[in-house]
Every structure is written in C-alpha cells, then in structure tokens.
Amino acid sequence: MTLVSAFLLLFLVMDPAGNLPLFVAALKPVDPTRRRLVIIRELLIALAVLVLFLFAGPYVLQGIGISEQALSIAGGIILFLIALRMIFPGAGGSPGEELEGEPFVVPLAIPFLAGPSAMASVMLIMSSDPQQWPVWLLAVLLAWAASAAILMLGERLSGFFGARGLIAIERLMGMVLTAVAVEMFMNGLQAFGSG
C-alpha cells in the first residue's frame, strides 16, 4: 500500500459527500453562529480517534491474536457492506434527522467520520507495515483534511450539487469502495493461502 492508495481508501471510507446531508441535517437545531465551531470540534474529535486507532489498534489486535490476514478479510467484508449501503441505501431516513440539540461526539465525529470502517481501515493500514507509520499518519491527516474541507463547506456544496447530485456522488464513491473492498478481501485470502 502507498500513501496515495491509503489516502484514497480512508477518504472513501470517511465518505464526506455521503455524510454531507447528514451533517447538514444534524446541525439544523444548532445556532448558526455556533455551527462552524461545532463542525471543527467534531472534526478534531474524529481525527483524535483515528490517530488513536492508527497507533494503538495493531497492539490491541496483536494482544487478542488477530492476524493481518484475518483483519484484511474482515476489513474487506466490512467495507463491502458499507459500499453496498452507499449504493443501495435502505429506507427510513437519516439518523441526523432525529437529533435534538447540539451534537457532541455522536453522531458527527463517531460514527459519521470515525466509524467502524474507518477505524478498521487505519488499523489495517498500520498493521500492513508498521515501519511506515509516518506515511500512514500523513494519509490519515490528508484524508481527514479533505473530508474536513468538504464538510466545512457543507451548506454551500449541498446547495450547489443539490440532493440528486450528492446522491450520485455517494453512489459513485460506493462503487469505487466496492472494488477496494474486494481487493482487500482477495489480498487477505492470498496472504492466508501463501502463509
């Protein structure tokens, strides 16, 4: 895995375009003068969680005896399920619509940005080559910064692309993520077979 592939994987998993309508809906009850501050706070919390999982995750996995191959296969399955949900969303509305008051940690930081798939992805990236931790940290920072830029411009982008445009972008990102998930699954199987 390279810096570019790690960045793209994390950016797709964070899914800022898909989360944009959820962020806008969750922030509706918040005073407009505080929205930017709330977004920044939630983004920083998500970054802290991802960096924590990047560095502590592999030790936890090693401690409970989960191999890199198993993590790759499990990560591929999780990403595949998330990609399917991005392509074929279920009915029932978004969780952000049910929120009352100012969101704190849940649901914006966790699980919208630093969800289970993002946490599993950073652990997988780090366990693939722990010596490259500066590269993986940079990939996390770049993916987070790109996601942050999109979410900070949330209302403008939502108005520019419209609901249909955002849905189309999310479907496209879901299709790309499907291919990434299958590749992760196959790599895990191949590594398991050769090991």
Domain chopping of the chain, boundaries: 3-194
Mean local confidence (pLDDT), 136-145? 98
pLDDT, tens digit, 9 for 90 and up, residues 65-124: 888 788 888 878 888 887 888 888 775 444 444 556 788 998 899 988 998 778 888 988
**Which residues sit opposite 104 in a β-bridge?**
106
Q: What is the pTM of this model?
A: 0.82
pLDDT, tens digit, 9 for 90 and up, residues 112-130: 899 877 888 898 899 888 9
Closest listed residue to residue 20, CA positions, set 168, 182, 152, 186: 152
Closest listed residue to residue 57, CA positions, set 132, 109, 124: 124
Sequence-ordered list of residues with C-beta below 8 angstroms from that of 4, at least 6 positions apart, any chain: none
* Residue reference for tokens 């969101």: 103
